[in-house]
Structure 1
Amino acid sequence: MSITVFLEVQLRPDTVGAQAEDAIRETLVATAAFDGNEGLQVLVDDADPTRVIVVETWTTAAHHDAYVAWRQTPEGASALGGVLAGPPVTRTFGRTIDL
């Protein structure tokens, strides 16, 4: 069953613009290529450009778990941490309501 993950990050104000966008792009190229990733979208808050939400779709929760574990390794490290004002907040959604 597919899952959707919202990764909410707060950028440091001094990195908003090209520096933060480059770090996000660099990070998400590797995310998109990771086994089980079905898609990514980056949303920037209109009222606060330091607040960004990455919407990720994964084939299964196990695929996302493997990705998160990989990001904790030296090989999975990214430049994103250098532009964040604090730790990201992750929300995972696997259940849907049929309409």
Structure 2
Amino acid sequence: MTTTVLLDLHIDPAALDRIADILSETLTATRAWPGNLGLEAIVDDADPAHVIIVEQWSTTADHDAYAQWRLTPEGRSGLGDIVTEAPVKTIYSRTIPLSL
């Protein structure tokens, strides 16, 4: 069963001119991590400093290994330097079957 991770970020408005470069570097490394199936960054229409990263993973364990790597000096990204509050991460790993 795949896992979806939402990472809710609030960017310092003074850093908006740098966000594309920082996200590009950060998300390139994320995409290359084993088990990552894809991701995208979406921006709040009403607040360009509010960004959500939507990640798809093969398993929760793949994401957990990635998250642990991000806590190391080698895995550190520049996102921590431009956020105004702690990111909020939500992990979803179940799909409710729907009859449409």
TM-score, normalization by structure 2: 0.95
What RMSD over aligned residues (CA atoms) do the two structures have, in Å? 0.7
Percent identity over the alignment? 49
Extract unaligned runs of 5+ from structure 2: none
User: Is it true that 1:20 corresponds to 2:19 in the alignment?
Assistant: yes
Residue number in structure 2 paired with 1:58 = 57
User: Which string of whole-angstrom CA distances, capped at 9 and with x for unpartnered residues, describes residues 24-56 of structure 1?
Assistant: 111000000001000001100000001000000
User: Which string of whole-angstrom CA distances, capped at 9 and with x for unpartnered residues, describes residues 37-85 of structure 1?
Assistant: 0000110000000100000000000000000000000110111111111
Residue number in structure 1 paired with 2:95 = 96
Alignment of structure 1 residues 75-94 onto 2, 5 Å = 75-94=74-93
CA distance in 2, matches of 1:81, 1:20: 11
TM-score, normalization by structure 1: 0.96
How many residue pairs get aligned? The number is 98
Please identify runs of 4+ aligned residues in structure 1 that moved more than 6 A.
none
